[in-house]
Amino acid sequence: MVYRSALAIAAGLALAACGQSAEAPAPVEQPAVVDAAVVTWTSVSSGEGSALAAQDAAGNVVLNLACLYAPERMRITVAGFNAISSEERLSFGADDEPFVFVAQLQEAGPGVAAEREVSLDLVERLGRAETVAANYGAQNVGPFPAPPTDQVAAFATVCREIAG
C-alpha cells in the first residue's frame, strides 16, 4: 500500500495548475449575418485611390477594399468585425484563394481595418471570382457575390497604376 502525504498531493496539484488561467477567454461576438442575395457593390475613385464597397440592403458598408496612393497599399475594412488584441491576420478571399492583410489594431473602429502591399494577384483573381469573403479570428463575413466585372476593371486600373 502506498501512502501519500497531503502536502505532496497539494504540491502536485499546484504544479499541474501552473500556467492555466482561471478565467475563460471572452467569447468573440460574431458580426451580424448579411444576406448575400441583397449585397450590392459600389465603386469610388478619387485622388486617394480606388475602392470597392459591399453594402447591405440598408445601404450600410459591410466590407470596403481599397488601393491607396500614399502610402501605396491595399486596405480592407470590415465594419462588423471586433478588434482582437492577439489577432493581426485578416484574410480576404476571392473564391477559395485567401489573401492576408495585417490588422491595424492601433486604429479606432468601427470595425477592423487591415493593410498589405498592393497585390496584382489579388486584383486579377477578384476579376475572375464568383464570391468574396473575409475572416478575422473566429469572425467571418460573406461569402458574397463578387463585385461586377466593370467595377473590378476600374479598380484594377488604379491598383496597377499604384503598383507601378
Which residue ranges form the domains of the chain, and what is each CATH number? 35-163 (2.60.40.1880)
Rounded to whole angstroms, the Cα distance separating 35 from 63 reads 13
Is residue 145 very low, low, confident or very high in pLDDT (cuts 50, 70, 90)?
Answer: very high
Statement: residue 139 has pLDDT above 60: yes
- Closest to 51 in 3D by CA, of 60, 39, 61, 37: 61
At residue 56, the pLDDT reads 94
Burial string for 61-94 (b: 16+ CB within 10 Å, else e) reads: ebbbbbbbeeeebbbbbbbbbbbbeebeebbbbb
**What is the 3-class SS of 70-85, one letter each residue?**
CCCEEEEEECCCCCCC
At residue 60, the pLDDT reads 93
pLDDT digits (tens, 9 = 90+) for 17-75: 444 444 444 444 555 566 666 899 999 999 999 999 999 999 999 999 999 999 999 99
Higher-scoring residue by pLDDT: 100, 6? 100
Statement: residue 161 has pLDDT above 60: yes
- Closest to 64 in 3D by CA, of 35, 98, 90: 90
At residue 38, the pLDDT reads 82
For the record, the C-alpha cell of 79 comes out as 465594419
At residue 107, the pLDDT reads 83
Q: How far is CA 32 from CA 16, 53, 123, 153, 157, in A?
A: 40, 17, 27, 30, 33
At residue 156, the pLDDT reads 97
Is residue 108 very low, low, confident or very high in pLDDT (cuts 50, 70, 90)?
Answer: confident
Q: Is the omega angle on the peptide bond into residue 145 within 30 degrees of 0, that is, cis?
A: no
pLDDT digits (tens, 9 = 90+) for 72-104: 999 999 999 999 999 999 999 999 899 999 999
Does the pTM exceed 0.85? no
Higher-scoring residue by pLDDT: 89, 109? 89
